[in-house]
Amino acid sequence: MKRRITYLTSADAPFEPTKQAVLNKKSLSIRELDAAKEERFTFGAAELPDELSRALTATHEFHIRWATERNYDSVAPFLSRVSPGLHVYYTPLENNGNEENPEDQLCSSLKDLFGKDIKCQSLQESFTQPPILSSRFSSVASLQLHSVLPSISHFAENVQRYACKSTDAECADRIAALDSADSVDIDYDAISHTLSISAFWSRPLPGNRGWTETIDKSSNAVSEKVEVGLLASEKAVDKEDLSLGGFLAVVGETDILKPTLFSFPSRHHPLSDAATYTTTLETPTGLHPTLKISLSPTALARPPAPEDAACALHSYLTLPSVIFADKYQLSTTDELFLNSHNLVALRALSGETDLEAPDWVLPRWGSNLLLELAVPSDEQTADTWDVTIPLHLRYLKPSEGGIQHTYLPWPVVFWACTADDGTKMGINPFDRVNVGFDGLFGPKTMFFQLHPETKNNSRLVEDLPVPVLQTAEGDVAWPGKTVYQQVELGTVVAIVLGFVWVLWKLGAVVRSSPSDRRSGAAEKKKP
């Protein structure tokens, strides 16, 4: 196992290396360090449980992205965001030659790891296929799934059970900290047969003035390696690059913190803290809610991309199965409709797009859509710029209160800019790909993500009340029956009566004599 810990301090945060980061031959002591933190564990195939190792042998591509519902600050180079919840991206290995097909157990494994509430029955029924706009994007997974998951504590408990011995309290505490992470990533590399787990905290744990911990040398120096970086963002020479400077150390191998400064091309780049957006649902929502994205003036300014780059503002929505977008409505070229919503075009849509099906008959998790957003012209000025997206709700099963609640994760909003043709977007040590929307653009696209802005510590999830048929309360009509059963019976009776009436009218015509029909026709011809 390899362990990599990266602390990222802001430019204005005080940092005294001799006092806040003390390194010796056995450990590195961190004291009250005000910084963001990423911790990554990399496991070889031999270190994984047998059941998990067998399942991964049938895997070509496997990525999990989880993000908290809390708002948090993104820090370079960990800038990419996904909508809150659990995102699974998977590509099975074709013709694996095994009689047993481990991919059939993927849904049960996900439920065991993350909880029973995940809407996943089988690979074929529950996953959706994202649109692959070009065969060049070989790194894009062929299947994806999303589930609302407010907490990752169930996963942390499972990792504790597999990775920590019953007597290792330090290991248990370290894994338990996953529950307070802002994002957690899991990636499987089919070439090296390694599995990595990464967690990111945008700020120190609650109740602490800063990170205070001791990172010990591994007891198994042959197989384990602990790398630590204390870094801060630096100004890069090229606009396509990110630059980091600070100190590096390998605990147990180096006696001093080694200064470092390096730059690398990056897909994701920072924007000003003032480049924000908020998401709300216009009221009343009813069965046709409208999602409103309000953008700050700074968010509408062209990002700091190369001058010859073409840039466009986009929003990527992740919709649960109960909410859907009308692809025919949004793919229109009617400028009057698009201008009224400040939209440019629907660029991609995948998942459940049936306009009539109720939610209880849909096995798949939901849908994704990518929209290009309009920006105001030079003549249009305003404190905020509102983009509205019309959505629709599916019918849900009846409830006693007549209302069921569903949740709509906030979308991600970003600028996408073309990079210079000579830019080499190689994989850098901090690159985070497979976040859903990146596969819908060219491999050299640069992304500038806006910052979500919440009020009163609200979540990055909108609570959406859905009106449904109310079940009966007490002895009404038929005791023990529900209102929807009564409506169903009444509908059947109405259809039967209507059918009988039509047959009676047709029979009356047939029974009438030819002379009666001729006289009736003659009467109609009279002026």
Residue range 66-113, pLDDT digits in tens = 999 999 999 999 999 999 999 999 988 875 544 455 556 788 888 988
Average pLDDT for the chain: 85
At 306, which helix (H) or strand (E)?
A: none
Q: How far is CA 326 from the centre of its chain?
A: 20
| CA contacts within 13 A on the Cβ side of 263 | 13
Q: What pLDDT sits at residue 519?
A: 61
pTM for the full model? 0.86
Q: What pLDDT sits at residue 397?
A: 85
Is the pLDDT at 165 greater than 70, yes or no? yes
Is the pLDDT at 315 greater than 90, yes or no? yes
Q: What pLDDT sits at residue 64?
A: 95
Mean pLDDT over 4-20 rounds to 85
* Amino acid (one-letter) located at 330: L
Q: Which of 316-325, 368-377, 378-387 has the lowest mean pLDDT?
A: 378-387
For helices 153-163 and 169-176, angle between their N-to-C axes, nearest 10 degrees: 150
Long-range contacts of 159-166 (CB under 8 A, 24+ apart): 159/197, 162/49, 163/41
Q: Are 90 and 127 in contact (CB under 8 A)?
A: yes
**Residue 486 CB contacts under 8 Å (≥ 6 apart), including other chains:** 472, 477, 478
Is the pLDDT at 175 greater than 50, yes or no? yes
Burial class (CB in 10 A: 0-12, 13-18, 19+), 268: buried
pLDDT in tens, 204-235: 987 788 899 999 887 655 457 899 999 999 98
Q: Which of 271-280, 288-297, 314-323, 381-390 has the lowest mean pLDDT?
A: 381-390
Task: Select, from the ranges 166-180, 271-285, 498-512, the one with the highest average predicted confidence (pLDDT).
Answer: 271-285
- Going 258 to 263 to 266 to 271, the CA torsion angle's sign is positive
pLDDT in tens, 241-266: 899 999 999 998 888 899 999 998 88
Q: Are 110 and 158 in contact (CB under 8 A)?
A: no
Confidence of residue 391 (pLDDT cuts 50, 70, 90): very high
Q: What pLDDT sits at residue 478?
A: 38
Mean pLDDT over 478-500 rounds to 71
Is the pLDDT at 63 greater than 50, yes or no? yes
Alpha-carbon distance values, 428 to 229, 335, 385, 453 (Å): 15, 42, 35, 29
- Does residue 342 or residue 458 have the better pLDDT? 342
Is the pLDDT at 290 greater than 60, yes or no? yes
Residues of the chain with pLDDT > 70: what percent? Answer: 87
Is the pLDDT at 33 greater than 70, yes or no? yes
Order across the sheet with 445-449: list the strands.
268-269, 445-449, 412-418, 311-320, 366-373, 343-351
Alpha-carbon span 142 to 135, nearest angstrom: 11
